C-alpha cells in the first residue's frame, strides 16, 4: 500500500529538516534556562511574606496561565516593536526580530508554569530544614541557595523535565511568526513536494521517539532520586 | 549576667496564646531541662531563644543581646547558639562532613581545611568519624542525631538548645545520644533541653522547668522538682511519665 508514497523525499530534505530541529532544540533549551531562572525568582517572590513581592508574582502567574501560548507569541511579536518605537521615540526603530520575540515569549510564558512547579518544590522541603539552616546562622540568601533550592530542585526535577518536554513540543507554534522549526521545515517540504503524508508521518515519528525517550529517562531518574529520608 | 533570660514573654498564634508571660533564666554553665505535656509550648519557648519563633511581647536576652530587637543581627546571634532538633534536620544532599563544614565556612569564614579539621575532631568525639563521608540517609536516627550535635558544636557555641532530641528515636538509640549530651553537660556547656528523659534530667540538670498550657508552672532546682513539686499539674505529669 505504500507504493504510491515516496519516502526518498525525506532523505533528500534531511539537511533542511535538521536545521529545523536544531532551531527547535535551541529554542527549547534557551527558553528552558530562562524560564527556570525567572520561574525561581517568581516562586521566591510568591512565597515571600511581603505582599509587595508576592502579589505581583501571583498576579503575573495567574494572568499568563489563563492565556493561550499562541497569543503570547503573537503579542510579543507585535507589541515589542511598538514598545521599542514608543520608548526610544524613533518611529523607524526596528524590532528585535521574530526569533528574540519568540524566545522572550516562551521564556515569560514557561516561567509562569515553572514558577508553580518550583514553588511546590520549595514547599516540599520540610520546615525543619529551613529552621536548621537559620539556626546555624545562615542568612536568607544562603539558606535558600545552599539548603532549600538544592533539595527543592532534586524533588521537582522529574516534573520540571516533563514540562520541558511539553515545551519542546510547543515550540512548533513559532510558525505563526514565520520562524521555521522542525515542524515548520517538515511542513514546508510537504507542501513544496506535495508529500504531506510522508512528511507528517516522519515528523510525528521523530517527535514521538524524542519525547518518548526523554520521558523514559525522566521516569528512570525519578526512581533513582526518590529521597532516602 | 544570665546567658539566656526570658522576661515576660508572650506569644500568640492568631487569638490563641501559646506562651503566657514566661520568665526564667539560664546561667552560664547551667543545664536546664524543660518538660511538660505536648502542646504546652516548650518547643516554642526554646525556639524564641534564637528567634526561630517570633514573639509579640516581652524580651529574650541572649548574652546581653535582645533577640527581638530590630538592631539585632539574628544570623550572627544564631551562629553562637547551637540547636539540635527532634528530626535531626541534617541536610540530606550533603555528606556528614559537608553538613558540619557548611556554616563554619559560610558564616564563620573558616577555610575548608580548618573547618574539616574541626569537623573531624568533633565527629571523633561523638563516635561518628568512620561515617564522615556518608550521607544522612545512610545513617540510623541515633547516628544522625549525634552528627547533628557535632554540627552545632562545630560553631563553638556559647550555649546549646535541644528540642526533644530523643523523641524521634527508637528506644535502643536513645542512650547513644543521651551519652553525648551528658558528656557535654559535664564539661560545663550551657544547655537548655526540651526533653521527657527524666533520667537525663536527674543526672545532669541543675534546674527543671515544667510548662503547661503555655505557662511556666514550675521552675525549680532539680532536687526540689523531683522531691516535692509544688504544683499539682507537675505532680500529675511526673507520676504519669515516671511510672511507665
Query: Residue A226 burial by CB count (10 A; 0-12/13-18/19+): exposed, middle or buried?
Result: exposed
Is A183 within 8 Å of A170 (Cβ atoms)? no
CA–CA gap between residue A187 and residue A146 (Å, rounded): 47
User: What does residue B209 show for φ and ψ, rounded to 5 degrees?
Assistant: -110, 130
Half-sphere exposure of A222 (CA within 13 A, CB side): 12
Helical axes A97-123 vs A51-64, angle rounded to 10°: 120
A67-81, B125-139, B144-158, B186-200: range with lowest mean pLDDT: A67-81
Cβ neighbours for B92, distance < 8 A, ≥ 6 positions apart: A151, A227, A228, A229, B135, B136, B137
Report chain B residues whose CB lies below 8 A from the CB of A144. none
User: Model pTM?
Assistant: 0.86
Q: What is the pLDDT of residues B84-125, one digit of tens each?
A: 999 999 999 999 999 999 999 999 999 999 999 999 999 999
CB contact at 8 A, B58 and B13: no
The pLDDT > 70 percentage for chain B reads 99
Chain A CB contacts of B160 under 8 Å are none
Q: Is residue A2 part of a domain?
A: no
Q: What is the pLDDT of residues A115-164, one digit of tens each?
A: 999 999 999 999 999 999 999 999 999 999 999 999 999 889 889 999 99
Tell whether A225 lies on the interface with B, counting CB pairs under 8 A.
Answer: no
What distance in Å separates the CA atoms of residue B39 and residue B34, rounded to the nearest whole number? 13
| Exposed e or buried b per residue across A51-67, where buried means at least 16 C-beta atoms within 10 angstroms of its C-beta | eebeeebbebbeebeee
Checking if the pLDDT of B12 tops 90, the result is yes
Residues contacting A130, CB < 8 A, separation 6+: A143, A147, A148
What's the pLDDT band for A229 if we cut at 50, 70, 90? very low
CA distance A100 to A112: 19
Q: Could you tell me if A19 lies within 8 Å of chain B, comparing CB atoms? A: no
Q: Cβ separation of B83 and A135 shorter than 8 Å?
A: yes
Q: What are phi and psi of A206, to 5 degrees?
A: -65, -45
For the beta carbon of residue B109, count every other beta carbon within 10 angstroms: 9
Cβ separation B81–A128 shorter than 8 A: no
- Number of Cβ pairs < 8 A linking chain A and chain B: 74
Residue A1 included in any domain: no
Of A128, A137, A229, the CB nearest to B137: A229
- Among B83, B93, B137, select the one facing A154 at the smallest CB separation: B93
- When pLDDT is averaged across residues B164-179 and rounded to a whole number, the result is 92
> What is the domain count for chain A?
1
- Report pLDDT for A1: 55
Q: Å from B203 to nearest chain A CA?
A: 27
Average pLDDT of chain A, as a whole number:
90
Confidence (pLDDT) at A2: 62
Q: How confident is the model at residue A3 (pLDDT cuts 50, 70, 90)?
A: low
In Å, how far are A86, A94, A95, A97 from A91, measured between CA atoms? 8, 9, 11, 16
User: What are the C-alpha distances in Å from A59 to residues A52, A64, A75?
Assistant: 11, 9, 18
Between CA A96 and CA A80 the distance in angstroms is 8
Q: What is residue B61's three-state secondary structure?
A: strand
- Is a pLDDT exceeding 80 seen at residue A4? no
Chain A contact set for B89 (CB, 8 A): 126, 128-129, 131-132
Check A142 against B106: CB less than 8 A apart. yes
Q: Considering chain B, what is the average pLDDT of its residues?
A: 93
Nearest to A137 among B75, B86, B87 (CB): B75
Mean pLDDT to the nearest integer, B39-44 = 92
ipTM for the predicted complex: 0.93
**Residue A144 belongs to some domain of the structure:** yes
Are B83 and A126 an interchain contact pair (Cβ–Cβ within 8 Å)?
no
Please list every residue in chain B whose beta carbon sits closer than 8 Å to the beta carbon of residue A133.
91
Query: For the purposes of burial, counting CB atoms within 10 Å of the CB of A207, is it exposed (0-12), middle (13-18) or buried (19 or more)?
Result: middle
Look up the domain containing A181 and give its range.
Answer: 7-225
Percent of chain B with pLDDT over 90: 83
- Return the CATH number at A53: 1.10.3720.10
Name A4's Cβ contacts closer than 8 Å, sequence gap at least 6.
none
Cell 563521608 belongs to residue:
B133
Count H helices and E strands in chain A, helices first: 10, 0
Question: Do B89 and A154 count as a contact with CB atoms less than 8 A apart?
Answer: no
pLDDT of B243 over the 70 cut: no
Amino acid at each position: 500500500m505504500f507504493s504510491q508514497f515516496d519516502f526518498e523525499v525525506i532523505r533528500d530534505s534531511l539537511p533542511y529538516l535538521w536545521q529545523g530541529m536544531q532551531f527547535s532544540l535551541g529554542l527549547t533549551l534557551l527558553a528552558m534556562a530562562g524560564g527556570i531562572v525567572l520561574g525561581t525568582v517568581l516562586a521566591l517572590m510568591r512565597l515571600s511574606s511581603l505582599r509587595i513581592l508576592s502579589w505581583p508574582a501571583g498576579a503575573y502567574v495567574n494572568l499568563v496561565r489563563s492565556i493561550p501560548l499562541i497569543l503570547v507569541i503573537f503579542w510579543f511579536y507585535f507589541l515589542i516593536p511598538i514598545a521599542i518605537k514608543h520608548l526610544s521615540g524613533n518611529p523607524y526603530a526596528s524590532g528585535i526580530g521574530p526569533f528574540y520575540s519568540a524566545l522572550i515569549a516562551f521564556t515569560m510564558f514557561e516561567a509562569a508554569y515553572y514558577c508553580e512547579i518550583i514553588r511546590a518544590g520549595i514547599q516540599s522541603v520540610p520546615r525543619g530544614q529551613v529552621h536548621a539552616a537559620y539556626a546555624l546562622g545562615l542568612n536568607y540568601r544562603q539558606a535558600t541557595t545552599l539548603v532549600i533550592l538544592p533539595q527543592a530542585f532534586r524533588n521537582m526535577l522529574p516534573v520540571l523535565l516533563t514540562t520541558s518536554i511539553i515545551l519542546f513540543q510547543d515550540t512548533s507554534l513559532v510558525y505563526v511568526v514565520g520562524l521555521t522549526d522542525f515542524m515548520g521545515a517538515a511542513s514546508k517540504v510537504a507542501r513544496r513536494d506535495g508529500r504531506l503524508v510522508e512528511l507528517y508521518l516522519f515528523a510525528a515519528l521523530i517527535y514521538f521517539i524524542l519525547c518518548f525517550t526523554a520521558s523514559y529517562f525522566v521516569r528512570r531518574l525519578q526512581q533513582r532520586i526518590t529521597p532516602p529520608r | 549576667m544570665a546567658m539566656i533570660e526570658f522576661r515576660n514573654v508572650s506569644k500568640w498564634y492568631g487569638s490563641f496564646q501559646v506562651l503566657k508571660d514566661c520568665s526564667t533564666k539560664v546561667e552560664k554553665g547551667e543545664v536546664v531541662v524543660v518538660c511538660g505535656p505536648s502542646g504546652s509550648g516548650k518547643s516554642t519557648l526554646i525556639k524564641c531563644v534564637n528567634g526561630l519563633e517570633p514573639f509579640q511581647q516581652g524580651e529574650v536576652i541572649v548574652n546581653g543581646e535582645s533577640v527581638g530587637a530590630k538592631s539585632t543581627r539574628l544570623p550572627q546571634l544564631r551562629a553562637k547558639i547551637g540547636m539540635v532538633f527532634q528530626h535531626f534536620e541534617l541536610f540530606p544532599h550533603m555528606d556528614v562532613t559537608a553538613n558540619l563544614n557548611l556554616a563554619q565556612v559560610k558564616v564563620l569564614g573558616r577555610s575548608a581545611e580548618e573547618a574539616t579539621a574541626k569537623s573531624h575532631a568533633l565527629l571523633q568525639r561523638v563516635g561518628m568519624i568512620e561515617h564522615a563521608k556518608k550521607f544522612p540517609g545512610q545513617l540510623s536516627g541515633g547516628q544522625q542525631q549525634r552528627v547533628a550535635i557535632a554540627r552545632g558544636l562545630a560553631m563553638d557555641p556559647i550555649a546549646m538548645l535541644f528540642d526533644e532530641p530523643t523523641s524521634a528515636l527508637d528506644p535502643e538509640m536513645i542512650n547513644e545520644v543521651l551519652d553525648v549530651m551528658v558528656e557535654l553537660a559535664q564539661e560545663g556547656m550551657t544547655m537548655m533541653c526540651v526533653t521527657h528523659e527524666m533520667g537525663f534530667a536527674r543526672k545532669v540538670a541543675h534546674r527543671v522547668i515544667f510548662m503547661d498550657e503555655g505557662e511556666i508552672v514550675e521552675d525549680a532546682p532539680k532536687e526540689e522538682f523531683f522531691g516535692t513539686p509544688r504544683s499539682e499539674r507537675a505532680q500529675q505529669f511526673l507520676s504519669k511519665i515516671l511510672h511507665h
